[in-house]
Structure 1
Amino acid sequence: MQQSPLPAEAAASSATRERRAVRADFQTQDDKDMLRAARDLVRDLGEAKPGIYWPDMLVSAAIGYAGIAAAIFAGNAWTAVFAGVVAALALYRALMFIHELTHIKSDALPGFRLAWNLIIGIPMLTPSFMYEGVHVIHHKRTQYGTIEDPEYLPLALMKPWSLPAFVLIALLAPAALIIRAGILVPIGAVIPPVRKLVWERFSSLSINPEFRRKPPTGDFRKRVLWQETLASVWAIAVLLSPFAFGWRPVLIALAIFSVTAVLNQLRTLVAHLWENEGEPMTVTAQFLDSVNVPPPGRIAEIWAPVGLRYHALHHLMPSMPYHDLPEAHRRLNRELGTGSTYEGANHPGMFPLVGRIARSTMIRR
């Protein structure tokens, strides 16, 4: 005999159906009032300010690397753990500027892309080419949430075990990046089939296993070449470093990078509601499938830094610099008000979102 669902499960199922029904209303047509407000209310915003970008990135990187050094040379375990946590959080914030690099105009911040790659992207084996040209596909209206989207999986519709697997696999990211840049890329330099495989399958920060990256062309190909070369040299140096310095420094650094990778994967897990089954969506439907975690809570600025706590708003205005998103949110929230479509993308925090997606997987099963 099939058991009746528990009250909590029934309520969760009902809430899920209501959310999907609301999004279904905008599956074929947009909320034009919201889109018009998003255009008109922020006309004076949108200029990337070097006085914010540079200090934020440089200070975050400096704290992160100082934390790694402190963890390596710490005299006791608790000091090492504390320094490691500080390093992971600071490097995570510095790393998230890769998202800004994919959206800001190439001439908006002279030298910033080069500096970020040399200070963060290359040392963390995630140069900007791994995101540039990939993330923009995620913002294309006809490709968001489809099989062609490199950054989308219907996680809320998958098996319950897929969620912990999705997060925990990030622990392997630092080792995988070292193998990619230090071993596979040099092999690919002399064996074309390996080079093709590495580029198509392992050269983009994507979560869709079906995504295949197209070959780089033009000026972008030149950027790929120098970034890939430096990353490969650095990865080989890391692989050889235990012979000169022992295993402690590299293992501590890898552990810190693993924490950073897991934190980013958790943020990715709650960046969307992940309830689209592959059909094209309107801008409004994409917005409602995305997540804002606005104030008054402050902890979201730690796990979703550099504007990523306004991820749904970012899908409305992808080119808006991260430092202008809080003001844009305040204006739209004030103008559109309680009960609006805009309010439908606001959520209270990470844990309620994880619980919501987890319940959805269990209901689906």
Structure 2
Amino acid sequence: MTALEEKLRDKARELGFAGLRIADPGAAAKAGDRLREFLALGHEGDMTWLRETAARRADPRVLWPDARSAILLAMSYAPEIDPLARLEAKDTGVISTYALGRDYHDVIKGKLKHLAQWLAKESGQEVKVFVDTAPLMEKPLSEAAGLGWQGKHTNLVSRTLGSWFFLGAILSAAHLRRDEPESDHCGTCRACLDICPTRAFPAPHQLDARRCISYLTIEHKGHIAREFRAAIGNRIYGCDDCLAVCPWNKFASVAHEAKLKARADLIAPKLAELARLDDQAFRKLFSASPVKRSGRDRFIRNVLIAIGNSGDAELAAEAESRLADQSALVRAMAVWALSRLLPERDFARLRERHAAQETDDAVLTEWQNA
């Protein structure tokens, strides 16, 4: 290791990164083939940007021809709580662990920019910074750099960080010494595949996003198919199941970055209170959170599914109040939730009163199919 790479690692540690490794930008060439297979199967669902940016994703040198080194960094967000234990409290909503603190894009990008500016000054070469939003395949590059390996759930796993870490990347025009790639250490374990509530993994290392609860509750813009609603349980933003059961998590230490630590008010928020959020209140509650990206209507859609799964008849009043919501997405899930919570006679009375006034076909379908 040269003096520059050693200083780079020291600087990264000072900024709170748990690991830094370096790869050739073209080291993950086979990832492009896997992406094309994923798209050919239509597994991307609504995520049309994956198809639109496929050529650039397949090779960082298409994204930036001058890139000579890919620097991959890990920042832990390992929780202090048991993510799976929250699934038992049916009157509360479960927000994915990664979204319980401040938006990681903002936290990590600031640190990456600081590190990249330092590297540009030290090396005299241009740099570019990436945190999840650009067409860069961080996970295959991170595996090639040796930060971890892509587990059977397709997420990166580390022998020292488990499954709980964010990735960031810096592309540099400087030629830096490469690290050795990491090998697969999953062995015969298939805990992440077996726990998935919606069977989103057709095979090890394959994900059908259209069946994934994280995709359905965050990325999917429309009505969530009936076949998945019961399995969603009280997960209102994302899903941690396949990450939480990974045996390698026993080596992960709790995250040190204060901004990534869980907000107390988001660990177990009451479904009744969340269902009452209008757009302004939603924006205020999640102003610095990744949850804000879903928008109020999609989020309340998820909350109503959780209410429908709660088995708590007292929550029916919250669902009924959403029958007059401006969003058809919300009204439809209010109908479904009420069909699960109310006695048949009471639900029939509501249907007689509200269905005749409904103008949206999807909501009418919910009334008819309930």
Output the TM-score relative to the length of structure 1. Answer: 0.25
Q: Considering only CA atoms, is the larger Rg found in Structure 1 or Structure 2?
A: 2
Q: Which has the higher contact order (CA 8 A, sep 6+)?
A: 1
Which structure dedicates a bigger proportion of its chain to strand?
A: 2
